[in-house]
Amino acid sequence: MKLVRESIGDVLKGKSKEEIIPGEELVVFKPTNPEKGMGTSLSGEVSTSYKRLVDLFGEPEDYTEDGYKVAYTWTVEDNKGRVATIYDWKATTMYDGDGYSPEELKELPSFTWHIGSGEGGYTPSWLKDVTGEEEKSGTIAKDLVNFIYFYES
Mean pLDDT value of segment 128-141: 60
| Per-residue model confidence (pLDDT) at position 9 | 54
pLDDT at position 80 over 90: no
pLDDT of the residue at 68 = 85
What's the mean pLDDT when you consider all of the chain?
A: 80
Residues near 69 by beta carbon (within 8 Å), at least 6 away in sequence? 89, 90, 94, 95
- Calpha distance 81→90 (Å, rounded): 28
What's the whole-model pTM score? 0.76
Classify the C-alpha dihedral 62-97-128-51 as positive or negative. positive
pLDDT (0 to 100) of residue 29: 92
From 59, 47, 30, 62, select the one nearest 153 (Cα to Cα): 30
**Could you tell me which residue, 26 or 129, shows the higher pLDDT?**
26
What average pLDDT does range 67-93 have in this prediction? 92
Q: What size, in residues, is the chain?
A: 153
pLDDT of 150 over the 60 cut: yes
